[in-house]
Amino acid sequence: MNISDFLTAADVRTDAVAGDKQQLLQELARQAGGKLDVQPDRILSELLKREELGSTGMGGGVAIPHARFPQVEKPFGMLARLKRPIDFDAVDGNPVDLVFLLLVPETPGGVPLGALACITRKLRDPAVAAALRAARDGSAIYRVLTTP
């Protein structure tokens, strides 16, 4: 699986602004809901339930909030690069400035896990994270994420 299978250049946000984790997840849910025909409140609720299990802030300034939905037929992603980092209860305690929202089908294993593993591998690479932070626009961010 490739990131381009579930992320389009149009779904990359640069200089996003959020006061806190809740506000960021609410805005991402609103944007994703419009694209997927899923109620934003439902998306937000599922994202918050997942966060209660443990933060999706994986360290290094990166978070991958994710949830499963029966209405989602294939994985859907959005990347937000924040103008100012926010507290995300990340495992390393550091604030987050790169957030990849991933919504996947409710099917077990396979595709949902493949999508999550794909983006996790990419964002754990410090060189990739640095390139995302240095990218001048959404197109450049998309190229960084989709180049093997």
**46, 112 Cβ separation under 8 angstroms:** no
pTM for the structure as a whole: 0.94
Range of the domain at 73: 3-146
- Position 107 scores a pLDDT of 76
- Position 71 scores a pLDDT of 84
pLDDT digits (tens, 9 = 90+) for 49-82: 999 999 999 999 999 999 998 888 889 999 999 9
How many folded domains does the chain comprise?
1
User: Residue 89's domain is classified under what CATH number?
Assistant: 3.40.930.10
Q: Which two tokens stand for residue 125?
A: 């690479």
- Position 1 scores a pLDDT of 86
Name all contacts of 105-113 with Cβ < 8 Å and 24+ positions apart. 105/68, 105/69, 105/70, 105/72, 105/73, 105/74, 105/75, 106/68, 106/69, 106/70, 106/72, 111/1, 111/74, 111/75, 112/68, 112/75
Residues with catalytic roles:
66
pLDDT digits (tens, 9 = 90+) for 114-129: 889 999 999 999 999 9
Closest CA to 116 of 86, 60, 87, 76: 76
**27, 95 Cβ separation under 8 angstroms:** no
Q: Quick one: average pLDDT of 39-58?
A: 96
pLDDT at 97 over 90: yes
**pLDDT averaged over the chain?**
93
